[in-house]
């Protein structure tokens, strides 16, 4: 195979980034915007030892699951990868992604336990409760911008279809105010304003705005005060990130400007404080679905000692507390633990304790020969549980594990280890991020007798 070579390619499955994958002389060929079942005349753009990339020239066979993307920026923006696929069919593909990961990374037989149909959203738009957008000067005016796919180039947008509509409205008003005040952003000489972070809660409809800047100068102070005065958001902050080489959004210092100190989000009957840097699930509606599935899998009867590892601001711990005897949460981030304790007071929960520190180091200390956990809920980052946590689990006698995963690949690798001691009962995929290739899942494991 050579670059610029053309041939007809039958698309067999989706890749982890939403690309269609076909095979030419046993070599995997990735094609953007292609759907399994399609036959496409493609042209090779890049050849590597174990894979190749091609662009679609002409569709010879079109999938009945193909739909017209609603977003005007879809071809340029890399944030959504599968807006061209019917939402229900994409749920099937996300389930297949979990199965494919198990086949690739384990010797487990996926048909030996239940992999349930993906729980999809009926309305898969305007679900994101937070936006983090770079601000740049475009034709003499400020604008929020996205990063063009596979590049470092930015392009201005007026709206985003997966963000809450109220976020789009707030962003537009703040950009208009910044232009009125001639606030300097990326593209201007000696600019300070870097990012606009906007949050809107689904339950209370409260809003929070945080301006991320290089320095908190007189211009930014006036701008932030005007946002408060014009009541463009319920809570206003400025975060200072002076490091021009980091890819991290937030810097170490956050300044409260005005309005409410925090906004409140509801998950079922529970309330949670949201601050500028608080980690919180981006899809509130599907989070309620996810947590309900976690509670169902845990099968709690008010008698169990429960672990919530990688607990963040304590959302899962709070959610299962009313059916548990005791819940212990572990989280590395100090700010998250402080927020978690606030949330316990907010919800009048008394049977939960939080420990700040590394799960790999704290978990062995919380498990002794005579004391372990009846149920452990793990919601790790994309990198998975890690070798140390896995070793601790394998030495313990935790009776039931509920594993919440945002990465099928690391889930599969972890299950390959856990399956030596635990029986996999089922996996429940949940579509937390419609229009993207990402899939969340809940796996129930029981200690083998």
Q: Give catalytic residues, as residue numbers.
A: 406
Closest to 201 measured CA to CA, from 274, 276, 122:
274
C-alpha pair distances (Å), 210 with each of 157, 306, 366: 19, 35, 38
DSSP structure class, residue 119: B
C-alpha pair distances (Å), 17 with each of 324, 339, 433, 436: 38, 33, 13, 8
Measured in degrees and rounded to the nearest 5, phi and psi for residue 111 equal: -85, 0
Q: Which residues, 6 or more positions from 267, have their beta carbon under 8 angstroms from its beta carbon?
A: 203, 284, 287, 288, 291, 315, 319
Q: Which two tokens stand for residue 16?
A: 């982890």
| H-only helix segments in 299-332 | 315-320
Q: Which two tokens stand for residue 170?
A: 């707030």
Assign residue 148 a region (left: φ > 0; alpha: ψ between -120 and 50; beta: otherwise): beta
Place of tokens 């309900």: 292
DSSP secondary structure, 76-107, as one string? TBSS-S-TTB-HHHHHHHHHHHHHHHHHHH--
């Amino acid at each position: 195979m050579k670059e610029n070579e053309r041939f007809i390619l039958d698309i067999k499955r989706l890749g982890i980034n939403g690309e269609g994958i076909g095979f030419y002389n046993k070599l995997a060929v990735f094609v953007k915007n292609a759907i399994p079942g399609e036959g496409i005349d493609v042209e090779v753009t890049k050849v590597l030892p174990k894979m190749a990339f091609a662009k679609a020239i002409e569709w010879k066979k079109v999938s009945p699951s193909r739909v017209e993307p609603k977003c005007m920026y879809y071809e340029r923006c890399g944030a959504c990868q599968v807006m061209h696929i019917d939402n229900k069919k994409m749920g099937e593909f996300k389930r297949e992604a979990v199965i494919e990961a198990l086949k690739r990374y384990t010797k487990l037989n996926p048909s030996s336990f239940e992999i349930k149909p993906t729980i999809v959203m009926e309305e898969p738009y305007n679900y994101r409760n937070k936006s983090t957008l770079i601000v740049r000067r475009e034709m003499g005016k400020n604008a929020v911008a996205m990063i063009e796919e596979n590049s470092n180039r930015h392009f201005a947008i007026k709206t985003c279809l997966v963000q809450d509509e109220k976020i789009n409205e707030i962003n537009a008003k703040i950009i208009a105010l910044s232009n009125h005040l001639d606030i300097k952003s990326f593209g201007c000489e000696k600019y300070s304003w870097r990012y606009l972070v906007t949050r809107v809660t689904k339950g209370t409809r409260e809003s929070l705005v945080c301006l991320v800047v290089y320095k908190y100068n007189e211009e930014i102070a006036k701008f932030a005060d005007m946002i408060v005065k014009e009541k463009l958001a319920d809570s206003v902050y400025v975060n200072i990130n002076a490091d021009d080489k980091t890819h991290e959004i937030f810097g170490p210092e956050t300044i409260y400007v005005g309005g409410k100190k925090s906004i409140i989000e509801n998950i079922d009957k529970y309330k949670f404080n949201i601050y500028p840097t608080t980690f919180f699930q981006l899809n509130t509606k599907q989070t309620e679905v996810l947590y309900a599935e976690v509670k169902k899998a845990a099968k709690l009867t008010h008698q169990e000692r429960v672990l919530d590892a990688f607990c963040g601001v304590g959302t899962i711990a709070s959610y299962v507390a009313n059916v548990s005897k005791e819940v212990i949460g572990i989280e590395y981030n100090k700010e998250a633990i402080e927020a978690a304790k606030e949330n316990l007071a907010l919800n009048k929960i008394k049977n939960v304790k939080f420990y700040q520190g590394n799960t790999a180091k704290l978990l062995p200390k919380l498990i002794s020969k005579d004391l372990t956990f009846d149920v452990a809920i793990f919601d790790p980052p994309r990198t998975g549980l890690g070798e140390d946590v896995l070793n601790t689990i394998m030495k313990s006698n935790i009776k039931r594990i509920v594993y919440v995963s945002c990465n099928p690949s690391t889930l599969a690798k972890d299950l390959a280890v856990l399956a030596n001691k635990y029986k996999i009962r089922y996996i429940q995929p949940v579509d937390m991020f419609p229009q993207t290739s990402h899939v969340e899942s809940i796996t129930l494991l029981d200690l083998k007798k």
